[in-house]
Every structure is written in C-alpha cells, then in structure tokens.
Amino acid sequence: MFRIKAQKCKACGDPLQGRSDKLFCDDRCRVQHHRSSNELHALRTGVDQILRKNRALLANVRSKMHRQFTSLDCAYWLRRKGFDFNFHTHILHLSDGRMAFMCYEEGYMLDGNGIVPWQNPMNNPKILLSARPPL
C-alpha cells in the first residue's frame, strides 16, 4: 500500500528538512524517542531514582538525625520522607550475625522494630565485616 511519509519529527513535531524518508530532525530527538519507547530504560531510570533518594535519606539520618531519634523513630522518619525499604544495592553480612542493607555506601541495620544507621567499620572498630554470610 502506498503511504505518504510524515513531514514532522516523531519526537518533537518540528518540520523535517532533508531526505524524504527522514523520521527525526536530529540525533537528540532520535535518542529521546528511542528511550521513551524502551520500557527497560524507563524501569532502570525509576529504580535508580529510588536508590538515589534512599541513599540521600540514609546519609541524612547517619549524619545528624540519628543522634536525637530512637531506632523506631528513624524508621518512621525514613518512611515519612519516602524511603522505600524494598530497594537496596547489596547486603553486608557482619561478624556479629547482623546484616546491613546498603544503598551504595550508605546503609542501615535492623534493630528490633526500628533501624540503626550503618557505621563504616573503619570509623567503628566494634563492627567488623565477615568474609561470607553465617551458615
């Protein structure tokens, strides 16, 4: 069937100049259109935004907030600020049997019903990392 090509960019809608089979006005529009139609890219972007937000909130708690809050208050504060406990980058197994849930270099440990900000073992010699998880 005979189809007439659109004379507008698929991404921004600006008029096209040049070849008759051209679909985008420049590389920026081509990449933007490709990324908007790629569901995996959108998923990765969403997960990365959640992880960055979690990291920033944990850094805030560790730097100043945890001194005045109990472990339960820390957990409530993080939840109110939008922390998503379902997302973390990795888990550290500590020598005392506890686990530290990490968002990049920031993390937290479960403490009863609340959380305690993870301290870097270089700053706190009482918390040491184990080579592998306990059996």
CA-based nearest residue to 48, from 93, 103, 119, 6 = 103
pLDDT of residue 120: 72
- The per-residue pLDDT for 65 is 62
Would you state the pLDDT for residue 127? Answer: 44
Is pLDDT of 132 > 70?
no
The helix, strand and coil proportions of the chain, stated in percent and rounded to the nearest 5, come to 35, 15, 45
Give residue 110's identity as a one-letter amino acid code: L
Rounded Cα distance between 65 and 50, Å, is 20
The pLDDT tens digits for 61-104 are 888 765 678 888 889 999 999 999 999 999 999 888 889 999 99
Could you tell me the pTM of the whole model? 0.62
